[in-house]
Each structure stands twice: as structure tokens, then as C-alpha cells.
Amino acid sequence: MKKIVTILGARPQFVKAAVLSRIIAKKEEFEEVIIHTGQHYDANMSDIFFTEMEIPVPKYNLNINGLSHGEMTGQMIEKIEEVLLHEKPEAIVVYGDTNSTIAGALAAKKLDIKVVHVEAGLRSFNMKMPEEINRILTDRISDLLFCPTDTAVNNLKMEGFDNFDAEVIKCGDIMKDAVEYYSRFSEEKSKIIASLKLNDRSFILATIHRQENTDDLDKLKSIFEGLELISKEAKVVIPLHPRTRKILEKNNLSYDVEIIDAVGYFDMLELLKHCLLVITDSGGLQKEAFFNKKPCIIAREETEWIELVENGFATLVGSNKQKMLEAFQIYNNIALDYSINLYGTEIGVSIYNKLKNSILY
């Protein structure tokens, strides 16, 4: 039996991997070995996803976290290489744009192991973002690049990938499969709406965690001031990333919004289903908002998911609290048509079939 090693480290990767892992387990044509780098180590940011989402328990947990970018990535490369030498897979699969992504790709490529990048071709064109560096470098050394959108494919064409020994495939967004599958169980498994005493479409769901926002105190203050302004018109509920919480506490910052601990995936799905709209700096949550037919206010200056903005489902406001409030007021008074299919169907099956043909034949 051929072997695939899947490398995970952060929440969005667990969500995406759940789709493909479930298909691999059913088909029984491959053995999947999962490496969890430990990049997200809070139980609500990591462990809970494996228990909730039917993802096989990782065979390896590297427990690498809480370090600088360079030290974290270096340790990951070293430890992943050890595993790959022992497991000898035909291919590795990496997702997204984290330190775990680039570390896995580098370790595999130097051992002449095929690199498969799911969610390839995304670009913010902001080289100050660590994620942008990770995704560009991962794409360049990948053998199979699964792109979620035409924009992602065109980005790679502009970078010369037609001339590289790599295959670029538009497959759609695998997170769409995850939302559609797990939404069937989320109401049964989550009691968060009742426990927080939330009414349908009566609250705003917000998440803030990007380094560009959390590491700039002026930006962080402005964003939370904007959330506080909006809270005068509708309750704002914020499942707070542990890093953001630490920064707020360190600087003695508090705001009149409802801050709760980071939540598991089913809780997040229920919050998405029942909220009025989403305010976030998360790439993944922008799309999850769309899949749940909710408008999104993006607390960033740019987005990789430009089709959401172009079609009116999302608005970029950066850290400008006044723009945030204006966007809320607009979305609070219009109805959007979500019938457009921006991200494909049965994406996981498409990726699996292409992966199988590439490895087996």
C-alpha cells in the first residue's frame, strides 16, 4: 500500500484535512500518516478538532510551538525530516500557508518526496505577511498545486508556473466540503447558542488574530474600538485567540464586547449559522461566512479571497473603525444573493482522484 504523510499544525489545516482524510480512509488505497507539528497547542485550537471531526489521531506530535518564526520553522524541518526518513512516503500533503506548511514542503523536497499543496496560488501581495512568504515558497517547490479559484491559477501563471515541472489544478475550495459535511452535525454537537443565550441574527461574530493586527497596538486598539462602536447596535461575540488575549491583558485593554474562549469547529459553525454577519482578519472565516450566507467585514488591507469582495459579499476595512462601522450599517440593511457558486463542488473527491492518479499511475 502506498503511503501519504499529511502535515498539520493550525486550525484551518485541521478543517481542510478532515475532508481528504475521510476519503482516504474510505477508499483504502493509501495509508495516511499524520504529523501534527504542534503549532497550535491550545486544546480548543488543536486537540478538540481531532476528537470532533473524525480525523485520525496523529501518529506524530512534534510539540513545536511558542518560538520565533525562524526557530519554529527550523525545528519543524528537522523533526519532519526524521519522520519522513522513517516512513518513506510517496508524497506529502500540506495545506495553506503556515510555518508547518513551508517546513513540511522543504523537508520533503530535499528528500525527493512529492509535495502536494492544497490551497495553492493564493496571494495577498503583501510581503510583510509571514503567510505570504510561506505560500510563495511552498508553491514554488510543490509538484501538485491544487488551486481553489481561477484567480489562484492565474497568479501562478503570472509567476511562470507554465514553465515549471509542476502541475497546477483548479479544484475548488476544500473548506466548502467541510462546512457542508459538518453542518449536518453541528447543532447536535454544539450547545453554544443556548449557553450564551444568543438569538438568531442578533449578534456579530468577530475574530482577530493576525500578526499584522495583534503586533501593532494602534491597529489592535482601533479594531476593538470599532467592535465596541458596533456593539452599541448589536451584541459582538469574540471567540478570542490565545495570543490576542495575552496582548490585551498585557496592555490592560478591555472593551464592551463579549469575549469568550476560543471554540471548537462545531461551536464555530453554530455561531456562523446564527450570527448576523462576521468581522474577521482570518482568511478561512471569510469563506466560512460566505458558505453560511453571511456578509463579512475584513479587518485587513487586502484579501487572498478577492472574489468575495468583487461580488459584494465582503468589504475590506483594515483597522479603520469608522469604515468598520459604515460597513456594518450597510450590510445590516441589505440582502445578498448567495446563489453564485464561487468555490466548486465535491472538491475533496476531485483532489483525491487526481492525487491517486499521480501517485499510483
Spatial distance between the Cα atoms of 325 and 285, rounded to a whole number of angstroms: 19
* pTM (global) more than 0.85: yes
Is 86 annotated as catalytic?
no
Q: Virtual CA dihedral for 216, 222, 224, 226, nearest 10 degrees?
A: -150
Q: What is the pLDDT of residue 44?
A: 52
| Integer angstrom CA distances of residue 33 from 24, 40, 310 | 11, 19, 39
Cα angle for residues 111, 12, 231 (degrees, 5° grid) = 155
- Ordered domains of the chain (ranges, CATH): 2-173+344-360 (3.40.50.2000), 188-331 (3.40.50.2000)
Please say whether the dihedral angle defined by the alpha carbons of residues 69, 70, 71 and 74, taken in this order, is positive or negative.
positive
Q: What is the pLDDT of residue 11?
A: 78
Q: What is the pLDDT of residue 54?
A: 73
Cβ 242 vs Cβ 211: under 8 Å: no
Spatial distance between the Cα atoms of 25 and 19, rounded to a whole number of angstroms: 10
Cβ 296 vs Cβ 267: under 8 Å: no
Catalytic residue (choose from 40, 209, 241, 274) = 209
Q: What is the pLDDT of residue 41?
A: 57
Average pLDDT, the chain: 94
Q: What is the pLDDT of residue 47?
A: 63
Q: What is the pLDDT of residue 196?
A: 96
Q: Read off the C-alpha cell for 17.
A: 484535512
The low-confidence residues of the chain, meaning pLDDT below 70, are 40-50, 52
Spatial distance between the Cα atoms of 259 and 248, rounded to a whole number of angstroms: 11
